[in-house]
Amino acid sequence: MTLPVIDLDSPSVSIAAQMRAACTDHGFFYVANHGVDASLISQLETRAQEFFALPLAQKMSISMDKGGIAWRGYFPVGGELTSGAPDLKEGIYFGEELGPDDPRVRARTPLHGANSFPTFAGAPALREPVLDTMRALTTLGHRVCRGLAQSLGLSPEYLEERYTRTPTVLFRIFHYPALTGTANAGESWGVGEHTDYGLLTLLKQDDVGGLEVRTSRGWIEAPPREGTFVCNIGDMLERMTGGLYRSTPHRVRSHASKSRISLPFFFDAGWDAKVLPIESPRSDEEEANRRARWDGTSVFDFGGTYGEYLLSKVSKVFPELAKTALV
């Protein structure tokens, strides 16, 4: 079994049908002809490799504890938790670039503010490729959401008009170091089994790979495919569709001899958007295929704004940081 590849230059009816089939089954697919410049991604990957090759002290110059309530900056290997366990990765958190006069910044809205970029002598130039990539992926996020809306039998503008006109966008650059010593790549996970908690994730992998997806037919690999992004839906879209669409567990296998760069982009509902159910007709087969979540939890027990929901989730990823940054 392999994940489907959806050509975004196909007729909208075809895109919608393919997205619905993927999302009711396992919630993962690739997108081709996505419009994101390959040279931009290549430049960013190069700058990221340069940054992660620096001594730890230089990387910590932009550590997340310096980013405060904006929740931006660098964390070292083991500094992020997935399902309560430390990940074998390091990374940098980014979000929408906002100046001090932005009303959301002035109001001290969590996860809003300026990004942290290295500025010491000889530091890799990350600012422009990061911000350019985020703009390109925001455009792609809107494009994919139009297809998702149509796949639910709604107008192309449905999700944008109600949830994503001013999306919450979060971007990460992750580095998974190669395993050393006697570690066994088959038993070591850069990120353990989890689901994403938002609306939509767009992922650019390098050529090393390691992503695995848990389907009803077992775990399958999601290897990098040239010219594509991996897309998957998160817990929030599963909740909004009443379980029709699946937020599927996935994990990242560490590699014994190669490091890996990963660029996940999270395209989510606006901070103040009220999370409401989406009514969409479903076939008898789709209704019959509904099943309990992998972890026994429910995504249907939250009521409020997307921002409130998101804060409850990210605080579990960096619990110590949450005690100081979100007070």
Q: What is the pLDDT of residues 162-214, one digit of tens each?
A: 999 999 999 999 998 887 654 444 457 777 888 998 999 999 998 888 899 99
Residues 6+ apart with CB under 8 A from 138: 167, 169, 267
Provide the mean pLDDT of the chain. Answer: 88
H or E element in which residue 310 lies: helix 306-317
pLDDT of the residue at 283 = 74
Q: Reduced to 3 states, what is the DSSP secondary structure of residue 211? A: strand
Q: In this predicted model, which residue has the larger pLDDT, 311 or 203?
A: 203
Question: Which segment of 36-50, 65-79, 305-319 scores lowest on mean pLDDT?
Answer: 305-319
H or E element in which residue 239 lies: helix 235-240
Look at residue 291 and tell me whether its pLDDT is greater than 80.
no
pLDDT band of 82, cuts 50, 70, 90:
low
> Which residue in the block uniquely carries the two structure tokens 């490799």?
49
pLDDT of the residue at 190 = 74
Q: In this predicted model, which residue has the larger pLDDT, 187 or 62?
A: 62
pLDDT of the residue at 182 = 45
Highest mean pLDDT among 48-57, 85-94, 288-297: 48-57
- For residue 294, what are its two tokens? 């992998």
Domains of the chain as residue ranges with CATH: 5-325 (2.60.120.330)
Look at residue 325 and tell me whether its pLDDT is greater than 80.
no
> Which residue in the block uniquely carries the two structure tokens 């996940």?
264
Cα distance between residue 12 and residue 71, in whole Å = 37
What does the angle CA 209 – CA 212 – CA 217 come to, to the nearest 5 degrees? Answer: 145
Largest CA distance in the chain: 62
pLDDT band of 142, cuts 50, 70, 90:
very high
What does the angle CA 198 – CA 159 – CA 107 come to, to the nearest 5 degrees? Answer: 60
pLDDT of the residue at 56 = 95
Q: In this predicted model, which residue has the larger pLDDT, 143 or 285?
A: 143
**CA dist list (Å): 261 to 182, 204, 208:** 22, 9, 8
Look at residue 102 and tell me whether its pLDDT is greater than 90.
yes
pLDDT of the residue at 104 = 93
CA 23 to chain centre: 16
Provide mean pLDDT across the span 119-132.
Answer: 95
pTM check: above 0.85:
yes
Percent of the chain with pLDDT over 90: 62
pLDDT of the residue at 221 = 92
Side-chain half-sphere CA neighbours of 26 within 13 A: 22
pLDDT band of 280, cuts 50, 70, 90:
confident
Provide mean pLDDT across the span 245-251.
Answer: 91
pLDDT of the residue at 179 = 77
pLDDT of the residue at 243 = 87
